[in-house]
Chains A and B, each alone.
Chain A
Amino acid sequence: MDELHGFSASQRAVDQVTEEKAIELVRYALFCEYRKTSIKREDFNKKLLTDNPRGFNSVLAKANGLLQHIFGLTITELPAREKSAYSSSQANRRVVQGKESRTTSKYGLVVTNLLQPDCALDDEPALEWGSQLGSLGTTATILSIIFLNNMSLTSEQLRYHLLKLDLLNGPTDAEERVSALPLVRQLVRQGYLEQQVIGHAEGLSQAATQGASDNPVQQHEYRWGPRAKVEFPPNRMAAFIAHITGEPVTPSLLRQLEQASGLQFPTDS
């Protein structure tokens, strides 16, 4: 009987620690989301779960319960990086695969919304983005252009579209490498864009064997980053494109978008 009491007391202590760590993870997740950075499992373990780094999953489950109940939000794992469309040569494949294996651990988690308010896109919006609305619109527009270009743009294609959207900041930006533009750097940092070296300006087939990122003639490919995939599932992106173009979301539009993006839309759309 004493043993039973001892077991339940130690179990209670474990539960209490899990509860405390879950609260810390909820706060950590909310603050990371405020800065649009992903939640890094390793960082959380190192800073806050030092006693029991293996307990992350139980802490995550508990934290998700709290986040869902209080905010209608949940913590979602970011998807892994895809291979570059330009990685056809052996050398490129090695570069891309090497990068994948090195960077897999950096994929983190982000906070996503579970609420489904009772509103259509044209009605009063449910969330007040305030001053963030402009940057959200810019991000969605850039992602939609990549979406309509078979999910990939080269540096020069992206520069052309940024110029057309009047997003280049005068002659300084026009001369600047695309990868060094503040907007592009921010989108890459936030996980909306993924940037991969695909070669050099004189020929895209040339392998990117030298990793010097400050090489002025280096070419990049831009694809959707992990945060974009989580925040803009195909149906939501289709609704955004339809809204911008003033078209209704019809099966024919969805078929066209499937062809343009090369993505398969869920059948229940």
Chain B
Amino acid sequence: MAYGDSHRLFLQNMLLVRCTSQAEVERLHAQANNQFPDAVSEPLDTFIGSINGQLDCINLELRSTLDETAGDRVWALVNTKGDEIAKLATNYSPAELNAFKHVIELIVNAEDGNFSIASSVCLNETHRQLTSNTKMQTQDFLKQLVRDQWLTVTDNGYYVMAPRTVLELQTYLQDEYGELIRPCYLCKDIVTKGQRCDNDGCETVMHLFCANRYIPVHNNDCPQCGQSWDRCIEFGDQVHSAGQLEQSRIAVSRSRASLAAEASEAPMANVKAEAMSSDDEDE
């Protein structure tokens, strides 16, 4: 079918929503066909294929991935070229972009490869990057990143990368963090929450929903090294308990308290030093 106004309307809506669910994409597809009823309607995958055929020359693409938490398909209009012009495609300031990069770095380098950081740590670390901000402004900035679908806050209080980040920053993440970013054995998308093979020499990782589909019908073994998948290790935000978050909050408040104590002791130390030196002089 020829490329027409129903494709254009769908694309205009994707420019507005940027990242949305499969159900919403299906609704927008039906709506585009309703608004321009003269056109013969295409099935969704062909329809999106036609649009991507047009978008290719301007380095944009409609891309999808599975939401690692819910397992639902998510679609986004992504920029595939990191040129000077692409820097305009954001309402964030350069300092905020650097702070966001720092948050991503912390998430990717999280302990035990869990791709998540406690909200209190995230707030403190981001605040250190945005020195001119008040704590409240930094908090608002993090909320904005969540509203813009770059980050997600999990029920247990951890910041993780949202599907939009995984989709739009795929190339950046792979280039920047190399081996820390591994694709799912089954669907080939980046995995930040899933299961990995217990064998040290084996690099197999899978999303939880991919493993649930694949492993039971393949003798419960790792598809690469053959080791039993019963011994696989879970990773991602789901491994954290609410108690761990509480512990990290306690650790942050303790470190803050010890810093404050050091600061208040410093003048006393000077007084003591002065007193000691005057004693020496007296002697």
Residues in chain A within 8 A of chain B (CB atoms): 23-24, 26-28, 30-32, 34-35, 47-48, 66, 69-73, 113, 115, 117-119, 124, 126-132
Contacts and interface: CB of A to CB of B under 8 A. Distances in A.
B11 A71 contact: yes
Interface string B87-109: 01111000000000000000000
Contacts of A132: 16
A132 B16 CA distance: 8
Interface in B50-78: 54-55, 57-60
A28 B85 contact: yes
B255 interface: no
A35 B89 CA distance: 7
Contact of B37 (A30, A72, A118): A118
Contacts of A30: 15, 60, 89
Contacts of A128: 13, 16-17, 28
The B contact surface, by secondary structure, is helix
Nearest to A118: B35
Contacts of B17: 128, 130
Contacts of B79: 27
Nearest to B31: A124
Contacts of B147: 131
Given A31-B88, A31-B89, A126-B31, A70 B54 contact: yes
- Name which of B12, B37, B60, B85 has the most chain A CB atoms within 10 A of its CB: B85
A34 B89 contact: yes
Contacts of B90: 35
Given A23-B58, A115-B5, A130-B17, A73 B86 contact: no
A246 B5 CA distance: 30
A129 B86 CA distance: 22
A71 B16 contact: no
A76 B60 CA distance: 22
B121 interface: no
Contacts of A130: 16-17
Interface residues on B, range: 20 to 34
Contacts of B9: 72, 115, 117, 126-127
7 contacts: A23-B58, A27-B59, A34-B89, A69-B3, A70-B11, A115-B5, A124-B34
A211 to B, nearest CB: 28
B88 A35 contact: yes
Contact of A28 (B8, B34, B88): B88
4 tightest A-B CB contacts, nearest first: A72-B8, A117-B35, A31-B88, A31-B89
B84 interface: yes
Contacts of B60: 27, 30
Nearest to B57: A23
Nearest to A116: B5
Contacts of B86: 27, 31
Nearest to A44: B85
Contacts of A47: 84
A127 B91 CA distance: 21
Contacts of A24: 83, 85
Given A70-B8, A72-B12, 4 more contacts: A30-B89, A66-B58, A70-B54, A115-B12
Contacts of A26: 58
A71 B12 contact: yes
A71 B84 CA distance: 22
B172 interface: no
Nearest to A43: B88
B36 interface: yes
A71 B9 CA distance: 7
A63 to B, nearest CB: 10
Contacts of B16: 127-130, 132
A126 B35 contact: yes
B54 to A, nearest CB: 5
B78 to A, nearest CB: 13
A20 to B, nearest CB: 10
A99 to B, nearest CB: 27
Given A23-B58, A115-B9, A117-B35, A71 B85 contact: no
Contacts of A129: 16
B54 A127 contact: no
Contacts of A124: 31, 34
A30 B83 CA distance: 14
A112 to B, nearest CB: 11
Contacts of B8: 70-72, 115
A72 B54 contact: no
- Name which of A113, A127, A129 has the most chain B CB atoms within 10 A of its CB: A127
Interface string B150-188: 000000000000000000000000000000000000000
Contacts of B37: 118
Contacts of A118: 34-37
A71 B86 CA distance: 18
Contacts of A113: 12
